[in-house]
Amino acid sequence: MLDGQAARPFAELSGVSKFFSGARALEGVDFACRQGSIHAILGENGAGKSTLIKIMAGVVQPDSGTLTVAGTQHRFTRPSEAAKAGIVCVFQELSLMPDLSVADNISISDPPRRFSLIDRRAQRDRAEALLARIHCEDVDPRALIRDLSLSRRQMVEIAKALGKNPKLLILDEATSALTSRDVETVYGVLAELKAEGTGMLFISHRMHEVEALCDTLSVFRNGRHIETFLKGARTQDEIVKLMIGRDIVHQFPVKPPALARKPHLAVTDLRWENRLNGVSLSVGKGEIVGLGGLDGQGQKELLLALFGVLRGVEGKVTVGGEGGVPTSPAEAKSGRSRIALVPEDRKTEGLMLPMSIADNLLVASFDKVSQGPFIDQAKSRQAVIDAIAQLQIKLNKPDDPVASLSGGNQQKVVIAKWLLTKPEVMLLNDPTRGIDVGTKQELYRLMRELADKDTAILFYSTDYAELIGCCDRVAVMYDGRIVTEFSGAAITEEALVAAALNITRPADAPAREAVPA
Amino acid sequence: MSAVTATTPPRASALAMSIRQNRGFYGAVLLLAALYLVYNFIHPRGFSANVFIANTNESVALAFVAMAQAMTVIVGGLDLSVGAVMTLTSCIASELVRGEPWQIILGCLISVAAGTGFGLVNGLVIVYGRLQPIIATLATGAVAIGLALLIRPQPGGEVDLDLNWAVTNSIKDLAQTYHLFEDGEAGWLQPIAWVPVPLLILVIITAAVWIPFRRTVTGRTLYAIGSSEGAAYMSGLPINRAKLWAFTLAGFFAGCAGLYLAIQTGSGNADIPQAGAYTLNSIAAVVLGGISLLGGVGTVIGALIGALILRAISFYFRILSIDPLLQPLVEGVVLLAAVSLGAIRTLRVKNRLELFR
């Protein structure tokens, strides 16, 4: 009977498409997975993996196509419906409530009851049993989630999912927050589940995990399902090629010849919490250094640390030879360091959406347009006009709310705001995310112009093509460290993807890597 | 850590665990105990049943209003109408709680039901009108005061005097008034005969309403919403139902406060400044009782303790001849100190961006 089950797919998608405000997340995807199998889903950032699992878990609904689970067609409108059909997801962003206890969280959606009141003893016993199943006996079911470490929280998240008796368990980067000891435990649990006939979808950016655990692999790229194959049918190099494909060609400005540059921004052994584990890096004047790697390897934290946002940063940072980690953005932007950060989320950290375009442009450099305590109207008007002209921001009136602009023009406002402070170091956190191709190309040109005027630029991007096209050097981060640096012609997609997955490739000979024609 | 064997490590006792997780609450209990003990020492007639009865009488209305506020703060909201709803129900009660015993009972039920209904309306406006609780309840609070003024343009009313006497004194007095338990002389009653009825009312209502409610899925959902509404949604919890319940129960507690106030004073008064003061004091009480204004942390019992602390401070002004004008100042300083202790947590935040979320 087990065999019969294993042969027929448990969950099957056919012709599934999903668009988010016009942008393709998934298109025409046919995909199936079985019970009693650990099935890896591979793909670059933005390949559509998260959308796929969100559709299966009932978080988002597909625009077209069908989802069949155990022979019945379903259209889940909420996660609890998917759970009822046997599909349970362990989300990357934790779904735990920090102020409730471990036992409360594990049984949150269907607690054991007596006389219709929650039976706390039964609930605690249930939590004990589930925690024991994942070998986390040391977690006290009465402890509050907020008092647990990230790794333990992730384990509680797994226990919570197991409590729903999943037939198909989706693990979305479920191991990324775990300590190595917990990772081993989870491997064991997953193997047991597989033997019991549970199906698993495993999304991980760690290639060696996929190799160790999974029996089937599927590659996604640009919202499409490229190929599914059994483990061992493809080499790592082939898998990497499948993930990259051959796609969009961007127009990038010409890079200057490589020069040996004196470091302007120098970072040595930077550490913070467990997210930065000894980053060393330098950026010279007039140089664009890219930060590569998969999402969440410490790139954002590195930029925030350099901008003075994080508390308790250890290590050495010098700008123009003078030292010290800045202690606040106010300090970072002023004084000798003159650092600017274009943040990750322009809507919350970059702009004050209801305020006018003009106010947003001036907000970081009021000191430059003030007379004593008063803002000088004439000076500020001139500064706004100059900034708008420099970045060719398309707008009606500078007094309109910045929220009325398109995404690309909003991003230009963020960048123009920082250019008004005359920065010597620009930190860019994925500045082209969600903006149109034309504006992207303007930004590439602008970056090169700034570099030519001696600005040191540190540029984090999730798009490999950008790193290749824009950067003089690229440092790839993995697990809070810089694992490899490439420069010049050695910056290729294969090299970047392999380094991002922390694979050491047998054919790693940079001299032979020609840019594909 | 990794050297620890696989056996279960020794666990903290239930009490130690509870203290560690609810520092604010236990701190409030200690503060109240200290304040009230010292008060009795310096009171000329301290440690007497009469003083105790008088004190509890004065605390009941604020305690109920604070419990009402707690319901909405736990879900991460705020109810600016609690004082007004209390005033409205006290005006209704001043009209209805008189006459035959059945009329009195019906009057009490209608008064509390009016408060509960008003809370339900608050909830409907907030949940289905998608309004922010602060502004929605600011508006409905004004409506409640308006209704109260319509019912009782002038202060007054004739609340049943027997009931007034029975409810504001000891259990023995209650029994005597209604000829219960051998006129209060029954042997088994004697150990508790001195207990003030107002205290009994607080304990009974808390035990009958809050303690079971907290153990329902809806009650649990209140905390889940206050703690992380996104995670609560993703866990498939009944968010709208829980919010409706929170505001309805807030109305219920505010209704209890109004009914008690009417019985205690024997009358009703659509007193606008008093309604405002009760609302603001309820927020202070909630914070003093260890409830986080961000939601998800604290209990209704904490709010009760917080209200008693505020009242205990005011008692001091009566026996020490301090200028009563200083009372707001002292209450303000105590509140500020309590809130500062709660804010120590933020010193540990490592990513300063999180301070603004």
DSSP per-residue string spanning B117-140: HHHHHHHHHHHHS---HHHHHHHH
Calculate mean pLDDT across residues A68-93. Answer: 86
Q: Residue A249: which pLDDT band, with cuts at 50, 70 and 90?
A: low
pLDDT at A373 over 90: no
A97 and B CB contact within 8 Å: yes
Average pLDDT value for residue range A348-364? 89
Q: Cβ of A57 under 8 Å from any chain B Cβ?
A: no
Whether the predicted pLDDT of A387 surpasses 80: yes
Question: Does 3.40.50.300 match the CATH number of domain A2-244?
Answer: yes
Q: Which residues of chain B have a Cβ shorter than 8 Å from any chain A Cβ?
A: 2, 4, 6-9, 11-12, 14, 17, 21, 212, 215-217, 220, 223-224, 226-228, 231-232, 234-237, 292, 296-297, 349-353
The topology under which CATH files domain A261-338+423-517 is: Rossmann fold (3.40.50)
Rounded CA gap, A217 and A41, in Å?
6
Q: Is residue B5 part of a domain?
A: no
DSSP bridge pairs for A271: A277, A314
Q: What is the count of structural domains for chain B?
A: 1
Q: Which of A109, A300, A303, A344 to mutate to test binding with chain B, by most B CBs within 10 Å of its CB?
A: A109
Q: How many CB pairs under 8 A join A and B?
A: 92
In a domain, B308, yes or no: no
In the predicted model, what is the mean pLDDT of residues B255-265?
Answer: 95
What does the pLDDT look like over A270-304, one tens digit per residue? 999 888 999 999 999 999 999 998 878 899 999 99
pTM equals: 0.77
Of A78, A100, A104, which has the smallest distance from its Cβ to B236's Cβ?
Answer: A78
For residue B342, what pLDDT is reported? Answer: 66
Q: Is A272's CB within 8 Å of B17's CB? A: no
Mutate one of A78, A90, A97 to test the B interface: name it (highest B CB count within 10 A). A97
Averaged pLDDT of chain B? 88
Look at residue B156 in the predicted model and tell me its pLDDT.
86
Q: By residue range, what is the domain housing residue B158?
A: 73-166+210-300
Write down the number of H helices and E strands in chain B. 17, 0
Determine, yes or no, domain membership for B339: no
Q: Do A311 and B350 touch (CB under 8 A)?
A: yes
Mutate which of A54, A94, A101, A108 to test chain B, going by most B C-beta atoms within 10 A? A108
pLDDT of residue A327: 87
Task: Report which of A165, A108, A105 is spatially closest to residue A133, judged by C-alpha positions.
Answer: A165
Q: Give the nearest chain B residue to A96 (CA atoms).
A: B231
User: In B, which residues are within 8 Å of A116 by CB distance?
Assistant: 216
Kindly give, in sequence order, each residue whose CB lies less than 8 Å from that of residue A237, ignoring residues fewer than 6 positions away.
A494, A505, A507
pLDDT at B345: 67
Task: Determine, for residues B236 and A137 on separate chains, whether the beta-carbon distance falls below 8 Å.
Answer: no
Q: Cα separation of A468 and A492, whole Å?
A: 6
Least reliable range by pLDDT among A39-48, A323-332, A468-477: A39-48
Of B11, B216, B224, Cβ closest to residue A117: B216
Answer yes or no: do B215 and A97 touch at CB < 8 A. Answer: no
Query: What ranges in B78-100 are assigned the alpha helix state H?
Result: 82-96
CB A496 within 8 A of CB A486: yes
**Cα nearest neighbour of A327 on chain B:** B352
Q: Report the residue from B235, B296, B351 with minimal CB separation from A310.
A: B351
8 A C-beta contact, residue A409 and residue A395: yes
Asked if the Cβ–Cβ distance from B231 to A111 is below 8 Å, we say no
Q: Of B4, B12, B352, which is closest to A311 when you measure between CB atoms?
A: B352
How far A337 CA sits from the closest chain B CA (Å)? 20
Q: Tell me the pLDDT tens digit for each residue of B166-196.
A: 889 888 888 888 888 888 788 888 888 888 9
pLDDT band at A250 (very low <50, low <70, confident <90, very high): low
pLDDT band at B58 (very low <50, low <70, confident <90, very high): very high
CB contacts, 8 Å: A78 with chain B: 236
Instruction: Give chain A's mean pLDDT.
Output: 85
Asked if residue A117 lies in contact with residue A93, where contact means CB atoms within 8 angstroms, the answer is no
Local confidence band at A511 (pLDDT 50, 70, 90 cut-offs): very low
8 A C-beta contact, residue A172 and residue A93: no
Average of pLDDT values for A203-227? 85
Cβ contact B17–A143 (<8 Å):
yes
CB-nearest partner of A97 from B215, B224, B349: B224
Comparing C-alpha atoms, which of A200, A244, A209 is closest to residue A47? A244
Contacts of residue B350 in chain A, CB cutoff 8 Å? Answer: 272-273, 310-312
* Closest CA relative to residue A288, chosen from A312, A258, A311: A258
What pLDDT is attached to residue A375? 87
CB contact under 8 A, A100 and B9: no
Domain positions in chain A are: 2-244, 261-338+423-517, 350-422
φ, ψ (nearest 5 deg) of residue B218: -60, -45
A99, A118, A309 member nearest B353 (Cβ): A309
Span A102-128, pLDDT tens digits: 999 999 888 898 888 899 899 999 999
Q: Minimal Cα–Cα distance from A287 to chain B, Å?
A: 29
Answer whether residue B201 shows pLDDT above 60.
yes
Residues 6+ apart with CB under 8 A from A213: A38, A40, A187, A190, A191, A202
Q: Given this chain, do its domains A2-244 and A261-338+423-517 carry the same CATH topology? A: yes
- B220, B349, B351 ranked by CB distance to A104: nearest: B220
Phi-psi region for residue A227, left (φ > 0), alpha (ψ -120 to 50) or beta?
beta
